[in-house]
Structure 1
Amino acid sequence: MRMKISKSFGRKVLGLMCGAALAMPLAASHAAPAVPPVDEALMRDTIRTLSSDAFQGRGPGTAAEPKTLDAIIARFKAAGLQPGNKGPDGKPSWLQDVPTATITGTNRSPLTITDGTQTLTFKPSSDFVAGSYRITPHTEVKDSELVFVGYGINAPELGWNDYAGIDMHGKTAVILVNDPDYAMDSENGLFRGRRMTYYGRWTYKFEEAARQGATAALIIHDTFPAAYGWQVVESSWSGAQHFVQTANDGADQTAANGWIQKPVAEAILKAAGKDLAALTAAAQTKGFKPVPLGLKASLSFDNTIEKANSHNVVGILPGKTRPDEYVLYSAHWDHLGHCKPDATGDDICNGAVDNGTGIAALVALARMNQIAGPTARSQVFLAVTLEESGLLGSEYYAQNPVYPLARTVGGVNMDALYVGGPARDVTVTGGDKSELTAVLRRAEQAMGLAESPEEGPEKGFYYRSDHFSLAKRGVPMFDLKRGTNLVVGGVAAGKAITEDYENNRYHQPSDQYEVSWDMSGMKQDVTLFYRLGRDLAQSNAWPNWHPGDEFRAIRDKSLAEAKGK
């Protein structure tokens, strides 16, 4: 579970047919599935084992990784799964290699801005941060023309293009954080108002700048629309950065990506004869055009590069009538390994809740589905690595899917199921984005659950967990959490549990398994996940994102391409 700022630790839990079937509505004609009992003993054993000191905090690439993989594979086998991948020899395999690169910047130069007559100089860390997605020993941006590109968004489905009419090759994009309508109180804006879309996330802005051919990209930090202070940016970008290895070593990415403090941006724009507030207002209106600033930027740094290999674990229950259509369950197995010692000297971050509980749910779901018998569609169980390093295991799977994404119907991701009793409600992170909502409503009705609004929709939590690696490539994914209105104790009890975990256990050695845990809420979570996945696996529907959603176009394209084959 990866948090740059405080958030509810329980928030992250959670293709096609030929011809007319592609256009079928999501409404299902099949009856609600019977639910086998959740095996609490199996879940407890899985959490207790994976979070024991013998597993040393499950750090990827450490001596604990083979032991962790063996433990997961053994439970997958016992649950009735089959190996879900093939090895280099073509034989069935439980594992998918995940090659990664870690880049640590050193010898950072100042950021210099000049118009040929005056030069502005800004210090690394305090004024700006920068790194590279390219695997190269040295990064240098020299005399790159600065262009203010508003929010850096290219959204054809919304008729919005902040890069209209400009060739960005050789240039550096200066970009505002969040979406154009982030300051709205409601969610009725073109970019869903207060609720952040992916276009507002910093990761998207760097990706789009690269697609436009920019040499570099600099995001203007502003605490309110960013939802975190400069200290979060500075700490996140000052150390090692982790990436999935690609065939071209990131050559298609910008040479440098970074952030600048808002006062730095104001000084740069003033030197260009511009005003940040005025340009921001202009950028919030449709039809905005990029603004060349008549300034050139330079910076450089060295990169220390380390390459490594970790593994995803893949299991499958083959479908009985449509085995080439897939429903996906996922959870990450990794945690932090050794971390800052507590007062007793304990330096093992065991990760019992984060994410021993998610792997336990994955194993329990496999067992429940095996008991219930095969579904029409195949069900894939994916234990991914390197979530804590930036969703790298799920990102690698999404880049190199074992099962085609165009034939992956949808899925459920599970991360950090919190301890405690069952709730009266469930919360959908990201809101109503896709036709998966109809599946959820059926499950809610069957379980007597209400639906509560997401807290902090402006913070973009939907884009911060493993399901997102699939979602941004078009696969509709559930991101759910048990609500805080507990059956016993109500909202006060639910919030107390959440706050205790965030303040006293999250990413600390104290995140350990305890025999006294109340597992009844986790069993409720797993029951919900079972209903959602089983519904999709028995259905003949192909859920899509709602019209206008940022992922609709890529889903439409993948379905159309698969239909034409």
Structure 2
Amino acid sequence: MRCSLAALVAVLALPSLSISPPGHAATPAKTGKAAAQPSLDTMKRLVKELSSDAFEGRAPGTVGEEKTLALLSDAFGKLGLQPGNKGSWFQDVPLVEISAKNVSALSFTGGNSAVSAAYGPEMVVATYRTTQPHVEVKDSPVVFVGYGINAPEKGWNDYAGLDVKGKTVIILVNDPDYEMTGLDGPFNGRAMTYYGRWTYKFEEAARQGATAAIIVHDTVPAAYGWNVVQSSWTGAQQVADNANGNADQSAAIGWIQKDKAVALMTSAGLDLDTLMAQAKKPGFKAVPLKGVKASLSFDNDLRKHMSKNVVALLPGKTRPDEYVLYSAHWDHLGRCQAAPDGDDICNGAVDNATGTAALVALAEANVKAGPTDRSQVFLAVTGEESGLLGSAYYGDHPVFPLGKTVGGVNMDALSMAGPAKNVVVIGKGKSDLDAYLNRALATQGRVATVEPTPEKGFYYRSDHFSFAKHGVPMLYFEGGEDLVKGGTAAGMAAAEDYTEHRYHGPKDEYDPHWDWSGVEADLQLYFDVGRALANTADWPNWVAGDEFRAIRDKSRAGQ
């Protein structure tokens, strides 16, 4: 464990935290109470600090984690919150850091011509196996498995009649119907389902027994460019630790550039575009690449460590055993693929120093506003960037019973594009929490809209999903794209610019010229929704027929 007690105590002593002092006069909220508005000064100071180079990108298991844990626990303590986990601010999350080295090219032989993909610019590879210092895939038969989906409830199985043990599977990203214009189709039309997420692709390949699983990168269905894949996959990877060392996972998982996949299929006498079209149709059958064998090898530096979720509690006054949850992930990528100017720290200012700072600002505002009927939990989780690891661990090992957790709000990458006429609700219409948001929006003269790019699968890309899977209604919304200045065109352009130039890269840095007015309005929504939920006796649920409704009903049975 890298974060020793001595180191943590030393960092706790750092005079770095800036929270609005008790006498700070906030701009009055619409309720007329200064205490009812989260402090923008607190937000600005904490985002700037959390995303500074001193925090080295906040990767789990690094000095950046130590400083982040110290800052958050110190902040919550100064505000008068209680340590949430039996007297501790922290919940241990066992992880293994795996750093690939000596990575060979991914080579394909046996076709009409040899194809080779270089590590970094043309392919990336890793392993989830936490006790395997050397991985070698040698002469593994290659099979194209379309979208790599096994969905019995939809009558869809890309692995039907196929034995992939010992083989390398080539998989398409997203769902078969992501190019549809509407939301009707076997996989919800244009809206991505969990079957479209890269995490699912690897999970299913492992269940099927594949030795290696390689996803074909394509910018539109992936929703990000190769630069994001490269920066996210070429550094140290965080993997959940467990008793079997993830021995049931594929030996190698990774991505390959589309042009290399085209060359691979051509070498086997196949056409990738034709295969992609076939894979979209029900009844698709996997296609072996006759005679083609895959090979690669790499070594791993393995380091077990105990990362941490931060858990702070603001007790309720009349129903303290019922909980409202605020969540945000504190982690980012740490050191990553260097920019042309040599900068190799992925600071994660927007993603997600903003959400982390919001936890503190909201806790501060709630302390000033006075206790609510229900308890409020402020949860900063680790490992989101590696696959929602910290929130998944909390979901499996909850500090507070999930059946007694009323609902919550997740905050991830607040928008710095300026004030908007709307907010985009990821998963709009799934739960009763929409009504709470709509009431808060009405006080601002704003509206909730559905996500404009449902094919990007944002619902499955942040920590609310880990709690939803256990039945807890969660609200996840983002600053809207219909900007006050410039409208939807300006908002979409700002989002695309961030994704292309800063997301998961060294240039996601604090900018003193940011327009914080949109964040200020969104912060007020988080506060109003959470506080309303904490002061009601209602138990919001998922709407009838939703995928999480039965789970919630079961967890609430008898209460």
| 2:172 is the counterpart of 1:176 | yes
2:313 counterpart SS class:
strand
2:375 counterpart SS class:
strand
Q: Which moved more, 1:251-260 or 1:320-329?
A: 320-329
Letter in 2 for 1:451: A
Aligned to 1:28: none
Deviation at 1:134, TM superposition (A): 0.8
Aligned to 2:300: 303
Gaps of at least 5 residues in structure 2 are: 1-29
Distance 1:560 1:256 in 2: 37
| 2:355 is the counterpart of 1:358 | yes
2:354 counterpart SS class:
helix
| 2:211 is the counterpart of 1:211 | no
Deviation at 1:557, TM superposition (A): 4.1
Aligned to 2:542: 544
Q: Could you tell me whether the CA contact under 8 Å between 2:177 and 2:190 is conserved in 1?
A: yes
Deviation at 1:375, TM superposition (A): 4.4
Distance 1:58 1:222 in 2: 29
Q: 1:292 to 1:68 in 2, by over 3 A?
A: closer
Q: Which moved more, 1:249-258 or 1:366-375?
A: 366-375
Aligned to 1:132: 127
Q: Deviations 1:126-161 (Å, cap 9, x if unpaired)? A: 654432111211112345444433211223443333
Distance 2:533 2:68 in 1: 30
Q: Could you tell me whether the CA contact under 8 Å between 2:225 and 2:500 is conserved in 1?
A: no
Aligned to 2:69: 69
Distance 2:287 2:338 in 1: 50
> What does residue range 56-455 of structure 1 map to in structure 2 within 5 Å?
58=58, 60-63=60-63, 65-86=65-86, 92-111=87-106, 113=108, 120-125=114-119, 128-135=123-130, 136-230=132-226, 232-234=228-230, 236-262=232-258, 264-266=260-262, 268-269=264-265, 275-293=271-289, 295=291, 296-319=293-316, 323-334=320-331, 353-387=350-384, 391-418=388-415, 422-455=419-452
Q: Deviations 1:515-549 (Å, cap 9, x if unpaired)? A: x87654333212211232234433533422673x6
Deviation at 1:53, TM superposition (A): 7.0
Distance 2:271 2:299 in 1: 33
Q: Deviations 1:34-74 (Å, cap 9, x if unpaired)? A: 98521425445544655667656655544454443333223
Q: Could you tell me whether the CA contact under 8 Å between 2:36 and 2:366 is conserved in 1?
A: no
Q: 1:213 to 1:525 in 2, by over 3 A?
A: same
Distance 2:341 2:103 in 1: 38
Of 544, 553, 560, the match for 2:554? 560
Q: 1:248 to 1:80 in 2, by over 3 A?
A: same
Q: Deviations 1:200-248 (Å, cap 9, x if unpaired)? A: 1212111121223333222233344334445554554344323232332
1:180 counterpart SS class:
coil
Distance 1:206 1:458 in 2: 19
Aligned to 2:520: 523
Q: Deviations 1:440-480 (Å, cap 9, x if unpaired)? A: 33332343212345343322333333334434555443221
Q: 1:122 to 1:415 in 2, by over 3 A?
A: same
Q: Deviations 1:289-322 (Å, cap 9, x if unpaired)? A: 4445555544332222233333221012344565
Deviation at 1:325, TM superposition (A): 4.2
> What does residue range 3-42 of structure 1 map to in structure 2 within 5 Å?
36-40=35-39, 41-42=41-42
Distance 1:342 1:358 in 2: 25
Distance 2:51 2:290 in 1: 56
Distance 1:107 1:533 in 2: 49
Distance 2:507 2:114 in 1: 45
Deviation at 1:509, TM superposition (A): 7.3
Q: 1:145 to 1:545 in 2, by over 3 A?
A: farther
Given the two structures, how large is their TM-score scaled by the length of structure 1? 0.77
Report % sequence identity.
58
Q: 1:206 to 1:62 in 2, by over 3 A?
A: closer
Distance 2:344 2:226 in 1: 28
Aligned to 1:17: none
2:423 counterpart SS class:
strand
Distance 2:258 2:511 in 1: 44
Q: Which moved more, 1:494-503 or 1:279-288?
A: 494-503
Letter in 2 for 1:521: G
Of 455, 458, 467, the match for 1:458? 455
| 2:474 is the counterpart of 1:480 | no
Q: Could you tell me whether the CA contact under 8 Å between 2:351 and 2:508 is conserved in 1?
A: no
Q: Could you tell me whether the CA contact under 8 Å between 2:199 and 2:387 is conserved in 1?
A: no
Distance 1:70 1:83 in 2: 13
Letter in 1 for 2:542: N
Deviation at 1:412, TM superposition (A): 1.4
Distance 1:416 1:482 in 2: 9
Q: 1:421 to 1:219 in 2, by over 3 A?
A: closer
Q: 1:265 to 1:379 in 2, by over 3 A?
A: same
Q: Which moved more, 1:246-255 or 1:142-151?
A: 142-151
2:36 counterpart SS class:
coil
The number of residues matched between the two structures is 523
Deviation at 1:95, TM superposition (A): 1.0
Q: CA RMSD in A?
A: 4.2
Q: Deviations 1:329-370 (Å, cap 9, x if unpaired)? A: 112334566789999999887665554432332123223334
Q: 1:343 to 1:282 in 2, by over 3 A?
A: closer
